[in-house]
Amino acid sequence: MKQIAGGVTAPKGYLAGGIACGIKKTGTPDLAIIASEVPAKAAAVFTKNKVQAAPIAISKQHLQNGEAQAIIVNSGNANACVGPIGDEIAVTMCQAAADYLNIAAEQVLVASTGVIGVPLPVEKIVTALSVHKDILSKQGSVAAATAIMTTDTFMKEVAVEFELEGTIVTIGGIAKGSGMIHPNMATMLGFITTDVAIEQPLLQKALSRACDLSFNRVTVDGDTSTNDSLFVLANGMAGNKIIDQVDKAYSQFVAALEYVCLELAKMLARDGEGATKFIEIQVNGAKNEHDAVTIAKSIATSSLVKTALFGEDANWGRILCAAGYSGVDFDPDQVSIALGDLLVYQNGVGIVFDEAKAKTILSQHDIVIRLEIGAGNAAATVWTCDFSYDYVKINGSYRT
Amino acid sequence: MKQIAGGVTAPKGYLAGGIACGIKKTGTPDLAIIASEVPAKAAAVFTKNKVQAAPIAISKQHLQNGEAQAIIVNSGNANACVGPIGDEIAVTMCQAAADYLNIAAEQVLVASTGVIGVPLPVEKIVTALSVHKDILSKQGSVAAATAIMTTDTFMKEVAVEFELEGTIVTIGGIAKGSGMIHPNMATMLGFITTDVAIEQPLLQKALSRACDLSFNRVTVDGDTSTNDSLFVLANGMAGNKIIDQVDKAYSQFVAALEYVCLELAKMLARDGEGATKFIEIQVNGAKNEHDAVTIAKSIATSSLVKTALFGEDANWGRILCAAGYSGVDFDPDQVSIALGDLLVYQNGVGIVFDEAKAKTILSQHDIVIRLEIGAGNAAATVWTCDFSYDYVKINGSYRT
């Protein structure tokens, strides 16, 4: 497997693009389309929030036959909590994309991100698509990745190619997300394209697992959004022997899909609102994977841990404290904690450590925190960022 | 029932005081003692964190006979996560207080608050108590309340008196807590004294219920500490007929105890680290109390809601979103949300509201958020504060 350029347009048979249609007051790009030349198998993972935006309901309907050919996405407005008109708006978006591409509206998936509770001026999308006729291109992944950004500070795209039984298969992806990022899922949108040939149930299975190991393991602020959506299209144009069972080829595909999802997910944490640090929390020696993930997420969502990391303060007591209230049963006297390669707490006792060395480690942009729980052999890693003045600034005046 | 002056020394037979013994680098008061003239029934509630500070283990031992006569507390050091020496230090603190008061060490409860993982220089406490012979007084509640502060910006004390079958009974309390405040319990210490005569099992029952309705319903940052302790001493000196069953007198006592705990708890939220707003979240119409509390706490701990309130931004979408990921099953189309008396969301649809009026409401220091869930008749209220630049500042450099 090797990383290549091109994002969602790297696999065979995909075009993409993005434009400004006027939903964002700033006039920056706010509308993206991704399209396959031919109908593709499609699968998705959505937010577990009880309050779900209208595009999710419509995309679920359009996924019922397991196929889709295009994705339309806007930023600047979440199309959430506006009543029944939200569904109509989402349908209108699909129809506009369908007319543009000359396909059926049911072949289009839809996603929105931005402010909640304000009706989306969908006529701006309809008008823009009737005016601009050259949105899509083979180089359009960057434009699409840019048009789905909200408070993101950089666009997020990745692509890989790998060999499957002698055939080159490609997977590409773009994502957005910066605040309101939390497991199950981040406030994020992720769109994956691939030219692999695969049965739809296996595509869904692969996406769900990849999502659990990637997007569901990053957190910025502990807030799970109403709009989170991760879509994958698989158009089969690579020409590989179709993956129709859980075999070696399936495993190879899943590994590549996981890689793409994880790279995108880590970019979300790295671009956390106001973030000055990228934090990797490794939990080893847990009784089982669920315990390891629970402890790691409890640390990753602690405001006290995150502000200490912003302040480059080796306050490991807060790390242990957050592990302690995670709800996982463990013996604190078996636990050890290291910041980078500096052991600060061992088997229940704080260690006298070199403060200068701690300062050097914590002054880096990328910081690894390692916990050994001493209860078993399971491990998990979670990614997050620190909590800075700018997070407060960005979120104190988002709506206005 | 009426509120009176005097804090923990308001009830008959209690003395208190606080001094600086040199644990805090700043030289501000860091040692408090509360003592009853006679042995008292004693009860306690402790943190549910898996990692617990040494004073908790020792206080639990000393509570085994249901009695205590004094409480010793230091600030500036949590005596947590330092290994077996922590227990020795907590015992030494009890012994020092016992020697000072000429009682048995087993009659002393102990609590600590401050930095985790650094051995507490207990010799400073022993020396201070051998030098200062006039710490305790009938006016000493303020000094004690001041000496237990860490990042608190004001001392927290309250007292009430009420009539129980013709006898005046008094309850007083002091508390500390500002950051690392979260239900079960806050990073807080609370000490309640009363002259009521009551059997110990009923005292424990009353305290547990009062704690659930007060300290367990405030949150500052979602971090549950290793040191949270709430103690109550009841020395019986009011001379009432002893409360030995769940009857009217018991209910009157519980109501007064709840009042004292709730007043102290609200002071914690009001003094939340960096807080510029005091937020009351009322959830009505839930299926049951547990659902109502869960929804209210999910909103109260949302960083996005709290930063929006800091920014005085009427971003009700974040409030609904936080309710949605609380884990409670409800129908968003039955929900209404009001900021103060301004309805902003009704039965699933955002309402066009007067932004100027919203701004006026959100510019107040005290803000009430009301949700109607439309699923039943249960209600709950939770208190919190906003999330400001200063929270980040205070917690970015706490240890150093």
Band (B185; pLDDT cuts 50, 70, 90):
very low
What is the mean pLDDT of the segment spanning A163-168?
94
What is residue A179's predicted lDDT score, i.e. its pLDDT? 60
Contact B83 A116 (CB under 8 A): no
Buried b / exposed e over A132-158, threshold 16 CB at 10 Å, is eeebbeeebbbbbbbbbbbbbeebbbb
Q: Which of B181-195, B290-304, B321-335 has the lowest mean pLDDT?
A: B181-195
B/e letters for B235-253, b = 16+ CB within 10 Å, e = fewer, are bbbbebeebeeeeebbebb
Model confidence over A29-73: pLDDT tens digits?
999 999 999 999 999 988 878 788 899 999 999 999 999 999 999
The pLDDT tens digits of the residues spanning B304-359 come to 888 889 889 888 888 988 898 888 999 988 999 999 999 999 998 888 899 899 99
pTM: 0.78
Rounded Cα distance, B312 and B319, in Å = 14
Look at residue B191 and tell me whether its pLDDT is greater than 50: yes
Banded pLDDT at A159 (limits 50, 70, 90): very high
**Backbone angle region of A384, left / alpha / beta, with phi > 0 → left and psi within -120 to 50 → alpha:** beta
Best mutation target among A49, A51, A309 (most B Cβ atoms within 10 Å) is A51
3-state class (DSSP) for residue B194: strand
B48, B295, B392: best mutation site toward chain A, by most A Cβ within 10 Å? Answer: B392
Residue of B9, B150, B187, B219 marked catalytic: B187
d(CA B125, CA B114): 15
Check if A178 contacts B (Cβ < 8 Å). Answer: no
CB atoms within 10 A of CB B354: 11
Range with the largest mean pLDDT of A99-108, A116-125, B298-307: A99-108
What is the predicted pLDDT for the residue at A397? 64
> What is the C-alpha end-to-end distance of chain B, expressed in Å?
45
Chain B touched by A222 (CB under 8 Å): yes
* Mean pLDDT calculated for residue range B374-378: 95
pLDDT at B186: 36
Question: Tokens at residue B289, please?
Answer: 């109390």
Alpha helices in chain B (DSSP H): 54-62, 85-101, 122-131, 141-147, 200-212, 248-270, 289-300, 303-310, 316-324, 355-362, 389-396
Please, which pLDDT band fits residue A212 given cuts at 50, 70 and 90?
confident
Q: Compute the nearest-CA separation of A71 from chain B (Å).
A: 25
Mean pLDDT across B61-90: 94
| B224 pLDDT above the threshold of 70 | no
Lowest mean pLDDT among A194-208, A309-323, B21-35, B363-377: A309-323
- Taking the CB of residue A25, how many other CB atoms lie within 10 A of it? 8
Residues of A in contact with B389 (CB under 8 A): 389, 392-393
Taking the mean position of all CA atoms in its chain, how far away is CA A48?
14
Token digits of residue A124: 């701006």
pLDDT confidence of residue A185: 35
| More confident: A248 or B153 | A248
3-class DSSP state of B340: coil
Query: Residue A357: which H helix or E strand, with range?
Result: helix A355-362
B3 vs B163: CA distance, rounded Å? 13
Radius of gyration (C-alpha) of chain B in whole angstroms: 22
Q: Which of A47, A187, A194, A226 is catalytic?
A: A187
Residue A186 scores a pLDDT above 50: no
Encoded tokens for B52: 């617990």
* Integer angstrom CA distances of residue B9 from A113, A301, B129, B166, B233: 57, 40, 20, 22, 12
Work out whether the CA dihedral B106, B108, B109, B111 comes out positive or negative: negative
Q: Measured between alpha carbons, how far is B80 from B226 in angstroms, rounded to an integer?
A: 7
Residues 6+ apart with CB under 8 A from B88: none
Number of CB pairs < 8 Å for A and B? 212
CB-CB contact of A32 with A15 (8 Å): no
A29, A104, A108, B15 from A127: Cα distances, Å: 15, 19, 18, 77
In which band, very low, low, confident or very high, does the pLDDT at A324 lie, cut at 50, 70 and 90?
confident
Of A307, A326, A345, the CB nearest to B396: A307
Q: Is A120 on the interface with B (CB under 8 A)?
A: no
Report CA B96 to chain centroid distance, whole Å: 26
Q: Would you tell me how many other CB atoms lie within 10 Å of the CB of residue A46?
A: 21
CA distance linking residue B152 with residue B194, whole number of Å: 25
Q: Is the ipTM of this complex over 0.85?
A: no
Beta-carbon separation of A398 and B308 below 8 A:
yes
**Chain B contact present for A115, CB below 8 A:** yes
* Catalytic (active site) residue A187: yes
Sketch out chain A's domains with CATH numbers.
2-270 (3.60.70.12), 278-396 (3.10.20.340)
Q: What is the mean pLDDT of residues B274-280?
A: 87
What is the 3 state secondary structure string of B113-163?
EEECCCCCCHHHHHHHHHHCCCCCECCCHHHHHHHCCCCCCCCEEEEEEEE
Query: Of B118, B107, B143, B131, which is closest to residue B17 (Cα–Cα)?
Result: B143
**Residue A386, pLDDT above cutoff 90:** no
Distance separating alpha carbons of residues A278 and A266, to the nearest angstrom: 9
- In chain B, residues with a C-beta closer than 8 Å to the C-beta of A321 are 49, 51, 116, 180, 223-226
Contact status, residue A8 vs residue A137, Cβ threshold 8 Å: no
Check if B48 contacts A (Cβ < 8 Å).
yes
- Chain centroid to CA B346: 35
Residues 6+ apart with CB under 8 A from B78: A317, B53, B112, B113, B114, B115, B116, B225, B226, B227
| B276 interfaces chain A, CB cutoff of 8 Å | no
Per-residue exposure over B306-342, b if at least 16 CB sit within 10 Å of its own CB, e if not:
bbbbbbbbbbbbbbbbbbbbbebebebeebbbbbbeb
DSSP string for A43-94: EEEE---SS--HHHHHHHHHTTTSEEEEEEEEEEE---SBTTHHHHHHHHHH
For residue B356, the Cα-to-chain-centroid distance in whole angstroms is: 36
Distance in angstroms (rounded) separating the CA atoms of residues A30 and A21: 6
Q: Is the pLDDT at B222 greater than 70, yes or no?
A: no
